[in-house]
Amino acid sequence: MNEDDNDDVTTATAVLYTPGGQRHESVGRARRNPSDRPVPEIGDELAAGRALADLGAKLIGDGAEDVAQFAGPTYESY
């Protein structure tokens, strides 16, 4: 997980390498409202959480595709 704070925007990048060497990456951002107090930890948490949530969604999608690929044809019984 990498985080970059730039003025009122925090960007977090989550990267995961699978045992097979496949790379998955997601980015999350948090923007501070100019009228709010600057509390960098809040932006860090929100950006990281968004990056991880997106990465999780991508992994679930990849897993579903793999299941469909390896499950073979489906049959209906009447």
Distances (CA, A) of 7 to 10, 18, 27, 47, 73: 8, 34, 18, 14, 53
Count other Cβ atoms within 10 Å, centred on residue 42. 14
Question: Where do the structural domains in the chain lie, given as residue ranges?
Answer: 2-71
* pLDDT at 77 exceeding the cut of 90: no
Q: What pLDDT is attached to residue 61?
A: 94
Distance in angstroms (rounded) separating the CA atoms of residues 18 and 61? 15
Cα 2 vs. chain centroid, distance in angstroms? 12
The CATH superfamily holding the domain 2-71 is Rv1738 (3.30.160.240)
Instruction: Tell me how long the chain is.
Output: 78
* pLDDT at 2 exceeding the cut of 90: yes
pTM of the shown model: 0.82
